[in-house]
Structure 1
Amino acid sequence: MSPRPAAVTGLAAEPALAAITLSWDSLGFDPLIDHYRIYGLPGGTAPDTADESAPLAKTVYPRFRHTGLAVAGETWTYVVFAVTDAGERGEPSAPVTAASEPSVTATGTPVATIGDFDGRTLEHLLAPASYAQIPERFPDALIEYTDGTDAPGEAWPYLLPGPGDGWAGSKAYRARWTVTLESAPSEDHDLALWLVDTTRLGGLRAHRGERRARHRSRAPVGATRGSREGDATVPGTARAAPCSSRPSRPPRRRRGRT
């Protein structure tokens, strides 16, 4: 009879924006582990692992990223156990409770926005699949948008090409968003950028405000389907993990988003 695997140890959770990443100690190869099962419940109560039909996920790796959580933040409690290649279940880990990070998209008061925060790009220029027209519409690889004057369907394309896009001339496209405030701000303002999808190339994002240093961050590797469908809310649609950029300084009371 195949031996049962040991209980999973070292379960830890790392909160992120609209996601929680779990990791735990690998159990090695004796006995041979076929996969790990992750159970989770919203809130602070540990899930019941007796229900074989209700795992949150299965993975062969000692880690799991729980995505698609609410932008306002969610609290979840998880347990993990191992299953051998012979189907023997191990004892569950000690539960761990974690909360995903809230976004200023949910907690802030908008100053200016481009588009709707709905997981779709259909209200933007050339959506859902006319990306081939972007080089002709923007020959200088510069997209300019003035808040209060321009509209997403007329001036803001749903897709921003990068150096890896040969069809767009292999250029680094830039977007300039002009927002005029009624008075000088007395506190920090945040910028939230949400992507429906990216290409399999991933890439780097760089942005800066007026008289601010440039900030760089890596865009997640996506599925490219956003350039053909324009709707990441369809069940089963692969998409990039959402990402948001903002200053690290509080308070986080105001935001812009695209």
Structure 2
Amino acid sequence: MSPRPATVTGLEASPSLAAITLSWDSLGFDPLIDHFRIYAVRGKSAPRSPQESDLLAKSVYPRLVHAGLDPAGETWTYTVLAVSDAGERGRAGAPLTATSQPSVTATGREVAAIGAFDGRTLEHHLAPSSYAKIPEQHPDAVIEYLQGTDEPGTAWPYLLPGPGDAWAGRREYRARWTITLDGEPAAEHDLAVWLVDTTRLGGTLRISVNGEHVTDLDLPAGATRGSREGDATIPGSTLKRSFHELPLPAGALQTGVNVIEFHLAEGGWVAWDAVGIFARE
């Protein structure tokens, strides 16, 4: 008779924005492990024995990313058990509760934004599929947006092309967002950059504030569908959303005119969900 798998131990969670990454200790080769079963229940408690209705996923590796969570933050309790190649189930390990990182869009006060943080490109110019007009309308590969005067539907194209895009001339496009502040921010602020999709090329989005480099965002490989589809919230959508939020250095913003520039230095286009500046409450 095949031995029963050992109890899974070492379950740990690494929370991030809209996701929780789980990992646990590997098991030996006696018996051979066919897969792990991961159970998840909303909240801070779980049934004493895992319920099949709570099965989140199966994994052949001692790791799983629970993605697609509400950016405002979600709390889940997880248990994991192993199944041998003979179909024998081990006992579930100790449950673990984790909460995903809440977005600054939920915890902060909006100072300025372009678009709605809703998983869609549809409020932006030329969405959802007229990308070919972007190089026609911006022959210098520069997009200018003046907060308080311009509107997303007429002045902020839903895609920012990059050097990997032949249709846009393989150029490094820049989007410049101009914001006027009545006073110098007294508290720290955060910049939120949400994307509905990227291309399979991934890439680098270089961000500067008032001419000072802030960071280079490493863009994940996406589904390359966001140039034709504008809603990642539709059930079954293959669009690959990504969320990027970063603190702005002290003194980066100033009284009067501020210019935030997004420079797609490497890779293919990004499909905007929204960008915003948020004051910490």
Aligned residues: 253
Which TM-score applies when normalising by structure 2? 0.84
Report what 1:19 is aligned to.
Answer: 19
- Whether 1:167 aligns to 2:167 is yes
CA drift at 1:189:
2.1
**Counterparts of 2:161 and 2:204, CA distance in 1:** 12
The one-letter amino acid of 1:125's match is H
**Counterparts of 1:103 and 1:74, CA distance in 2:** 11
CA drift at 1:14:
0.4
Report what 2:235 is aligned to.
Answer: 235
CA drift at 1:239:
2.9
Question: Partner of 2:135: helix, strand, or coil?
Answer: helix
Report what 2:247 is aligned to.
Answer: 247
Question: Partner of 2:243: helix, strand, or coil?
Answer: coil
8 Å Cα contact 1:40-1:47 kept in structure 2 = no
Report what 1:197 is aligned to.
Answer: 197
The C-alpha deviation readout for 1:200-246, integer Å capped at 9, x for no partner, is 11111211211533311211221122221100011111232421222
The answer for unaligned runs of 5 or more in structure 2 is 251-275
8 Å Cα contact 1:78-1:97 kept in structure 2 = yes
**Counterparts of 1:100 and 1:54, CA distance in 2:** 19
Map 1:17-166; keep pairs closer than 5 Å: 17-47=17-47, 49-166=49-166
**Counterparts of 1:16 and 1:221, CA distance in 2:** 18
CA drift at 1:32:
2.2
8 Å Cα contact 1:220-1:241 kept in structure 2 = no
The C-alpha deviation readout for 1:93-140, integer Å capped at 9, x for no partner, is 111111111111111111111111111111111111111221112111
**Counterparts of 1:138 and 1:93, CA distance in 2:** 57
The one-letter amino acid of 1:62's match is P
Which TM-score applies when normalising by structure 1? 0.91
CA drift at 1:24:
1.0
**Counterparts of 2:30 and 2:141, CA distance in 1:** 56
**Counterparts of 1:90 and 1:44, CA distance in 2:** 23
8 Å Cα contact 1:47-1:79 kept in structure 2 = no
Question: Partner of 1:216: helix, strand, or coil?
Answer: strand
8 Å Cα contact 2:141-2:173 kept in structure 1 = yes
**Counterparts of 1:118 and 1:247, CA distance in 2:** 21
Report what 1:3 is aligned to.
Answer: 3
The one-letter amino acid of 1:142's match is V
Question: Partner of 1:105: helix, strand, or coil?
Answer: helix
The one-letter amino acid of 2:150's match is D
**Counterparts of 2:200 and 2:153, CA distance in 1:** 26
**Counterparts of 1:149 and 1:134, CA distance in 2:** 20
Q: Which moved more, 1:1-10 or 1:240-249?
A: 240-249
CA drift at 1:146:
0.5
8 Å Cα contact 2:50-2:92 kept in structure 1 = no
**Counterparts of 2:88 and 2:47, CA distance in 1:** 20
**Counterparts of 1:122 and 1:48, CA distance in 2:** 45
**Counterparts of 1:11 and 1:105, CA distance in 2:** 30
Report what 1:223 is aligned to.
Answer: 223
The answer for unaligned runs of 5 or more in structure 1 is none
From the superposition, tell whether residues 29 and 237 of structure 1 become closer, same or farther in structure 2 (CA, over 3 Å).
farther
Q: Which moved more, 1:106-115 or 1:208-217?
A: 208-217
Question: What RMSD over aligned residues (CA atoms) do the two structures have, in Å?
Answer: 1.9
From the superposition, tell whether residues 48 and 139 of structure 1 become closer, same or farther in structure 2 (CA, over 3 Å).
farther
**Counterparts of 1:49 and 1:205, CA distance in 2:** 46
From the superposition, tell whether residues 38 and 161 of structure 1 become closer, same or farther in structure 2 (CA, over 3 Å).
same
CA drift at 1:248:
7.0
